[in-house]
Amino acid sequence: QPRWSSCLSTPPRMRKDVRILLVGEPNVGKTSLIMSLVSEEFPEVVPYRAEEITIPADVTPERVPTHIANVICIVYSVNNKKVPLILVGNKSDLVEHSSMETILPIMNQNSEIETCVECSAKNLKNISELFYYAQKAVLHPTGPLYCPEKKDMKPLCVKALTRIFKVSDLNNDGILNDNELNFFQRTCFNTPLEPQALEDVKNVVRKNLNDGVCDNGLTLKGFLFLHTLFIQRGRHETTWTVLRRFGYDDDLELNQDYLFPPLKIPPDCTTELNHNAYLFLQSVFDKHDKDRDCALSPDELKDLFDVFPYMPWGPDVNNTVCTNDQGWITYQGYLSQWTVLCAKLWYLTRDKRIDLQKKQTQRNVFRCNVFGDTGSGKSGFLQAFLGRNLMRQKTIREEHRSYYAISTTYVYGQEKYLLLHEVFPDFDYLSDADVACDIVCLVYDISNPYSFEYCAKVFKQYFMDSKTPCMMIAAKSDLPEIKQMYGFSPLEFCRRHKMPPPQSFTCNTAAAPSRDIYTKLTTMAMYPHARLRCMCTCNRCTFCLCQNFLNSELLQRVRAKLYTVVLRRSSLTLKNEYSVKQNISVLLSFCISSLFSSLYLYSLLFPSLRLCICVSVFNRHVSQADLKNSTFWLRMSVGATVFAVLGFAMYRVLLKPR
């Protein structure tokens, strides 16, 4: 027998206790069996009926309390599942022959009979074994696992073990190598296998199955064969331990607690994926992205979710996150989707009220609810966030439409997720979930004179007295603007309610629509206390100066130069190259934003200092020779950092006391 289960520890328990009923005709020895088990001697005077006996958990092999009683009648519900049965032949001390030849055919004809035991209450023969088998029949039943007629495992058991094999196959090559087998062993039994035990397992498979071992690793066929062998040799507990460790119940269905673990979220707190969760998701993506194109093809996506009880992502997911030109979910889109859905791995962020008090946030995911009347352009606004212009949006089928869009934006060099949610335009039935968000986006069609009225009503009824920042979007700005049939113009309305001016937006472009508006939305969500009013390209506010410079031709040349230098000196895969480029962009954005933040602080202290002059001087003194000089880049990075540190120090010293 393979030594796979030789290191078996206490298995996961699905039951808190076990109840055993002794049923039979009068005078067959039911009470004597109970009394002999408890007192370890045969009672000369047997009461008509024994009271219920409880065996403590610490004296049972499975560490569960066991309750034993004897009854004559059985009452059962016809819609309840079958209960495992054990045939017990008592008083074996009175005969010299065995009754097994008569009992075994009955056992084979009735699959609900787990086993047959001959015992003697008088001689204490097989008494403890009887109740051990009774416990085992409840905790580790054979019925769900094995079909005696076919001498093979049942389909549900094969399906469950196949999923477990694929989860344990960490590199997705269809073989469990020694490292993966030890990982599996530690996961299920808390102890790794010794090298010799590992070889014994594989040798048993080799002797019985031609294709059970491949490249010195265990194949799926070999894995299933081992568990069939365990069951046939009466080691059901090994297979049940594995099944329960991976979340299966007695019916070989995944537990609801396993699929949906309880997560208590305090009021005004949000949930986000932590760093370890993103690392895990990245490893899963790498495992299934076999062609290394940084996207999941339909076959790769199907393979990824093959270990799930059902396909959790529908066709609408392709219109919720970023995809490549073939419509396949990209690496960034994959992480974005899990950012929304993967509640099991989320951790709690602190109360939003604390963020408002400290005027800073630790959060990375922000929710923007998008309101607007029918036909105002909300769907186009969501899809434009994913880089799709109007022409590409027209190819989306109505049944695949999504009311969500999520992607990343960069705010002062920090990568953040922005989740857009299109709220159904039913003004009279807005739920708490429709109103709860970090920022509100009110979309109206500039070519429809009655479109703005809906936005104004939503704002006045739900958000005018709230602390949630709001932004007005003038959609379809490529069309002629028509006067809105409302008491105030959109601009006057925004001024009266201290909102930023309406932002022009269109997705009817030749290339991908501009993402500037989404950066502004994320910035407002991050800093709701700031009440940013200047959201135009005025070149006077810090936001506009920083964003314009980040998009300038000069900085594009800087990025390209850094990409070339870094990638030339290292051989990277496409996905790693993508990550390197992202890191360079973040570093560069951080340095520039630190520089502008410092200059802004200096301008507060010294009014004669003008940011526009600094920017123009900076641009004027950067030559082509400087761009090729590595020392220049080092000086620029160090200078930006020094600016940031000095600016922050001066801010604390001079402004805080005020």
Q: Write out pLDDT tens, residues 384-394.
A: 999 999 999 99
- What per-residue confidence (pLDDT) applies to 541? 53
Q: DSSP secondary-structure letter at 177?
A: -
Q: Is 324 left (phi over 0), alpha (psi -120 to 50) or beta?
A: beta
Q: For residue 378, what are the contacts with CB-CB under 8 A and spacing of at least 6?
A: 370, 371, 372, 422, 443
What residues does 18 pair with on adjacent strands? 66
Contact 364, 416 (CB under 8 A): yes
| Sign of the Cα pseudo-torsion (434, 437, 442, 443, in order) | negative
Residue range 149-259, CATH number: 1.10.238.10
Residue range 18-139, CATH number: 3.40.50.300
Neighbours of 15 (CB within 10 A): 12
Block mean pLDDT (10 aa), the chain, length 658: 39 62 72 72 69 70 67 41 71 78 73 76 79 75 84 92 93 92 90 88 91 92 93 87 91 84 70 84 91 92 86 88 92 90 47 57 85 93 94 89 92 88 79 84 95 94 88 95 92 91 94 92 82 47 57 65 61 54 58 54 44 41 47 58 63 52
CA 633 to chain CA centroid, nearest Å: 40
Rounded Cα distance, 290 and 304, in Å: 11
Q: DSSP secondary-structure letter at 460?
A: I
* E strand intervals along 65-106: 66-71, 85-89
Rounded Cα distance, 229 and 195, in Å: 21
Q: Is 412 left (phi over 0), alpha (psi -120 to 50) or beta?
A: left
- Distance set, CA 525 to CA 364, 365, 409, 521 (Å): 11, 10, 12, 6
Task: Indicate the pairing of strand 295-296 with strand 329-330.
Answer: antiparallel
Please indicate whether the domains covering 18-139 and 149-259 agree at the CATH topology level. no
Amino acid, single-letter form, for residue 343? A
Contact 507, 384 (CB under 8 A): yes
Is the domain spanning 264-363 CATH 1.10.238.10? The answer is yes
- Which class does domain 367-527 fall in? alpha beta
Domain map (residue ranges) of the chain: 18-139, 149-259, 264-363, 367-527
Neighbours of 435 (CB within 10 A): 17
Q: Reduced to 3 states, what is the DSSP secondary structure of residue 426?
A: coil
Instruction: Please give the structure tokens belonging to residue 387.
Output: 């880089």
Q: Which of 606, 589, 584, 586 is nearest to 650 (CA)?
A: 606
Rounded Cα distance, 157 and 171, in Å: 24
- What per-residue confidence (pLDDT) applies to 544? 58
- Distance set, CA 592 to CA 432, 545, 586, 610 (Å): 40, 10, 10, 17
- Long-range CB contacts (< 8 A, 24+ apart) of 12-15? 12/241, 12/244, 12/245, 13/62, 13/63, 13/64, 13/139, 13/244, 14/139, 14/244, 14/249, 14/250, 15/64, 15/138, 15/139
